[in-house]
Amino acid sequence: MSLRAALTERRFAVTAEIGPPRGANAEAIRRAARALRGWVDAANVTDNQGAMVRMASWAGSLIAMQEGVEPVMQLVCRDRNRMALQSDLLGAGALGIPNVLLLTGDHPKFGDHPDARGVFDLDSVQLVWMARTMRDDGRLLSGLELKPPPRWTIGAVENPFAPPLRYRAERLGKKVAAGADFVQTQYVFDLPRFGEWMQSVRELGLAERCAVLAGVGPIRSAKALDRMHQIPGIVIPDEVTNRLRGVPSDRFLDESIAICAEIVRALREIPGVAGVHVMAFGLEEAVPEILERAGLGRRPQAVAR
């Protein structure tokens, strides 16, 4: 079933994530896609995530489609100027990639090519705006006409947990004004803080205009937990950390999956949350279990075309 249909029918949507490999091989994407097929409405295909060079997201999106998984093609401002962004967006339209997710991108400093120049010709809000203009007005940023215009849904991201906290809902408001149809958030571990952000989102009237998909995901190991604590913008409350540290290492992942499922259950009760975005990089096989434990079954089958 498609993400667009899930959002317009107001069915609780599920997206996941596929990270393309470092290498010219389609198998890793096929394997991840097969694990997710039937369980998600769509899966993001990341674009040089963490500023690490990987196979292009458009190529990964195409492979996911061949495996029967609807892709959300990620596209970052870090690696392209406004011309390359637009041509990649047109390419996505021509290939039938139904969704794009537009973001600024991590700084090169944190990746495998810290010596690279970050482009940042546009920021994420400007990229969303440009994409909306391409789709709805059929025009490039230069004003030149497009024929035919692309038809993807436009996604964006927001982090409800990073300062300035009181500005975070407003910032989503800018992305909605610029044209975002849906937004995926940073990992939610701190439910009270997420609830406060959602309240502001509702008060600003954004939840009706833009589907909010809350980010969740299992933490693979104690080492991964330590690493996640280091990542700026991810907030893991002591309660979660203590629970994970309290179990023997062979039960770590199991506990982590249980916590993730509990968070999904809690998120389903928050008004205005339109779905979840499950980030389980390298743990795609765990996604069905998380969803089942959270009371979300397989996705409704797509009508035969």
Partner 1 sequence: MMSPHPAPPRISLKTALALQRMLRPDRMRYAFAAWLEATPVAYRLFTWWEEKIKGRLFGCRMCAQCALPSTAYACPETCPKELRNGPCGGVREDGGCEVYPELRCVWVIAYERAEQEGRVADLRRLQRPIDQRKWGQSSWVNYWLGRDEGLWE
Stretch touching partner 1 by CB under 8 A, among 49-57, 65-73, 158-166, 274-282: 158-166
Stretch touching partner 1 by CB under 8 A, among 57-65, 227-235, 260-268, 289-297: 227-235
Other C-beta atoms within 10 Å of 191: how many? Answer: 19
Q: Among 95, 177, 228, 270, indicate the residue that binds partner 1 (CB under 8 A).
A: 177
Whether the CB-CB separation of 183 and 155 falls below 8 Å is answered with yes
Secondary structure (3-state) at 46: coil
Asked if 123 interacts with partner 1 (CB under 8 A), we say yes
Asked if 104 interacts with partner 1 (CB under 8 A), we say yes
* Rounded Cα–Cα distance for residues 118 and 80 (Å): 9
Closest CA to 206 of 175, 165, 160: 175
Sign of CA dihedral 200, 12, 43, 230: positive
The H-or-E segment that residue 128 falls in is helix 124-136
Q: Among 44, 48, 99, 124, indicate the residue that binds partner 1 (CB under 8 A).
A: 124
Q: Among 61, 86, 99, 186, indicate the residue that binds partner 1 (CB under 8 A).
A: 186
Asked if 183 interacts with partner 1 (CB under 8 A), we say no
* Rounded Cα–Cα distance for residues 103 and 80 (Å): 12
* Rounded Cα–Cα distance for residues 172 and 237 (Å): 24
Asked if 11 interacts with partner 1 (CB under 8 A), we say no
Asked if 180 interacts with partner 1 (CB under 8 A), we say no
Q: Which residues bind partner 1 (CB under 8 A)?
A: 77-78, 82, 104, 106-107, 109, 117-118, 120-126, 129-130, 141, 157-159, 162-164, 166-167, 170-171, 173-174, 177-178, 186, 232-233, 235
